Amino acid sequence: MSAEQDLQTRAARGWRLWLVFVLLLVIAGVIVTKMLSLNFQDQAFLQQQGDARVLRNAAIPAHRGVITDRNGQPLSVSAPVSTVWVNPKEFDLNHGSVDRLAALLKSDRPALQKKISRFRSRQFLYLKRQITPALAAQVEQLKIPGLYVDRDYKRFYPAAEVTTHLVGFTNVDGVGQEGLELAYEDWLKGVPGKKLVMRDLLGRTVKHIREVEPMTQGNDLQLSIDLRMQYLAYRELKAAVQAHKADSAAMVVLDALTGEVLAMVNQPSYNPNDRSGLGSDMKSLRNRAVTDVFEPGSTMKPLAVSAALMSGKYTPDSVIDTSPGYIRVKGKTIRDHRNYGELDLSHIITKSSNVGMTKLALSMHEDAVRNVYQNVGLGQVPGTGFPGEQAGVLPYISKKRLIERATLSYGYGLAVTPLQLAQAYMPFASGGVVRPVSLLKLDRPQATTRVMPQQVAEQVLRMMETVTQQGGTGRRAAIDGYRVAGKTGTVHKVGRGGYKDDQYVSVFAGVAPVINPRIIAVVMVDNPKGQEYYGGEVAAPVFSRVVGGALRALNVAPDNWQPAETRMVMQ
């Protein structure tokens, strides 16, 4: 090769080296420039994009308030559970653990795949709600992309069907649907919070960053109910319904000193922890003690006698001739069970004389009886705040409507709930005053309203005591060791064609003990179909067993205790 050619070759090589060097410098400059851009100009954008892929706002579940009885026994609590959900866009339908997931959720692979595929365009889909934490842990171990498990709470009712009509229940989202769960929803519910967490590609939380919104726990609610008495009342009422083949029944027990409801039970009942057996039968959901009305029958006679005493025309010793055992009013015949002859006011109640009551009612001002009924709360909503509580029916009756005035005095032509009837008997236990009834435990007694003189209330209370003694219609309501005052009621049910001859409502309302009354209770049994149907046969024994147990639970001293030797001689 000539010297000239060698020089040209060297020059070409040098030019190419410089070209490569320049290109490397350009590439390095571009890289440096991009790095500077990424670190300064695009840093916020890149950080946002990165956070969007790993940071999530997770809910902080709020604990719903606990419902307890007056002694702190839980009636409704929130138990920890878990919720399984998927992001259909991320979920791997062909993952090897899908079969195991389907088995844990009590499903099958085709059904699970079909469900997720159907909502492939969404980013959220529930698979199973309110599962146990143990089952949730097994689901999490599958580590399927797009599968998530969140913590939640489920309402649990320890007393189950014993308190369900009063407490009610919540839906799957923890929102009150019935009873006090519904009435006090705003008080009980908690407000969920939010927290920022870091999750990996499998959706597992690997780091808690910070709290975004604080969580607020729900408030607790303490009821006036005494769970001991609630269980006792439920057991006895259920046994009575079964024994007498009744359609339904309800019972209310009040504290005579405060107006607090110590027990409120219904039949039939249901288990709020498992409502699958209810189906479409919504009748069992009703709290009949506050929503169902019935004609109270003869349980109104003590109130009507109170009106007679307050009229000034009668005294406890006044005598009414009920012969010949019936009376004609406006072409209608009102009858007693038999001809009782002459009866004083006390024996009108003892024998439950319709004729005697009719003569008393028609001899007074046309509004005398109705005014007493209204003053004790009939025809008005009790005001407990319970959803669906009824006001009942208390009609206005003109002076000329004699038959309606007569029937009103012995409990026909009006309608009450068991709770209203219990409140109506409060004056007899409280010296002539009434106070509001309460389903919540009270710190102090509420204000009272006088509806009759104390003397009248005490006189009628003594008259009512004869009902549970020898010769009275409510002897089976007697309680060993205690003096009991009350009144039976046996009412014909109303059908499409009028009153039915073979269907009844059996009622007993009473107070115990007579000296320093502490308990007021009402038992209502709807349509008993056995051989016994009178209030003194069906409802009175339930009163005796429940109120007797309640008095002992409250350590109320007996007011009619007799030494064992005396009782043996009397027997």
Place of tokens 């001859």: 501
Report residue 433: phi and psi, to 5°: -120, 155
276 is catalytic: no
CA distance 80 to 155: 9
Place of tokens 């009028």: 498
Which is nearest to 200 in space by CA: 56, 58, 82? 56
Contacts of 449 (CB under 8 A, 6+ apart): 375, 433, 434, 435
Report helix angle 402-409 to 354-363, nearest 10: 120
**388 in the Ramachandran plot: left (φ > 0), alpha (ψ -120 to 50) or beta?**
left
CA nearest to 229, candidates 569, 554, 570: 554
Output DSSP code: residue 37.
I
Cα torsion 563, 568, 570, 571: sign: positive
Amino acid occupying residue 304: A
Please report the DSSP string for 317-380 in residue order.
T-EEE-TTSEEEETTEEEE-SS---EEEHHHHHHTT-HHHHHHHHHHS-TTHHHHHHHHTTTTS
Bridge partners, residue 194, by sequence: 59, 213
Angle made by CA atoms 188, 170, 130, in degrees to the nearest 5? 110
| β-strand partners of 450 | 433
Select which of 76, 248, 298, 306 is catalytic.
298
Cα(421)–Cα(279) distance, integer angstroms: 32
Neighbours of 353 (CB within 10 A): 25
Catalytic positions, written as ranges: 298
